[in-house]
Amino acid sequence: MSSPFLPSPFTYGDLPQGGQLVPMVISSRIPSNTVDTQYAAGYFWLSSRDQFRLNALGQRVYGDGSIWIQSGSSGGHANWEQIVATLLTTLTQPVIPQVVQQVAQSIPSPIVPASTLKQSPESVTNSKPTAILNANIGFVTFTGFKTAPYGTQVFTISNNLISSNSQVMVSVDNDGSSDARITIQRVKKLDGSLQVYVTNSGTATLNGNVTILFQKLL
């Protein structure tokens, strides 16, 4: 079998374990600094999407395509560092410097801190089961509803940012002194609106507000 890393500028003595090649470990998982300590500095590791392992449920878990390098051991632990999240270019060039250049070009830009992406939810209040709130994150408080035990109610939130293909997280909450428990039965996404079907699974009639929180993911 030929290797994409041939010919190689490494010679005997470049690696603590000797040899003329810098090998790559191909596995279904990512390397561990405490488990995979037998590999010397300079080793590559590919979490291959062609290989899989079985999880506790017996399901196949494939590699994610990431590439790692062992940058040197310290304190009895390896230092595996991820050099590219996903292989964006094919390793068809025969010389290692060209491969390294491809990897360098694939390194993503610095991650923007989550705090800079934080969004404040918008909100509206309505005494009717319909409301308008055009936002990616928001909550609507519906007031004055008297849903009986095991009774159902449909709330509709018009939102021009939502389509039938959107991925939306929805949660519901209710307040009041009685044992009313409003739970979601179904969320129906339409082009321009969100319909939330709820039921009162408690033993008392609702005597407080119902608040629906949503967040559009995609």
Return the domain boundaries, the chain: 24-106, 119-216
Strand 122-126 to strand 137-142: parallel, antiparallel, or no bridges (unpaired)?
Answer: parallel
What is the tens place of the pLDDT at every residue in 190-200? 999 999 999 99
Q: Output the pTM of the full model.
A: 0.47
pLDDT digits (tens, 9 = 90+) for 134-161: 999 999 999 999 999 999 999 999 999 9
**pLDDT tens figures, 56-78:** 888 888 888 889 898 888 888 88
Mean pLDDT of the chain: 80
DSSP state of 117: G
Selecting from 2.60.120, 1.10.150, 2.60.40, 1.25.40, what CATH number does the domain 119-216 have? 2.60.120
In whole angstroms, give the CA distance from residue 84 to residue 78. Answer: 18
- What residues pair up with 125 in beta bridges, in sequence order? 141
What are the tokens at 131? 């409301």
Query: Cα dihedral angle (171, 176, 180, 181), rounded to 10 degrees?
Result: 20
Q: 184: Cβ–Cβ under 8 A, 6 or more apart, which residues?
A: 170, 171, 172, 196, 197, 198
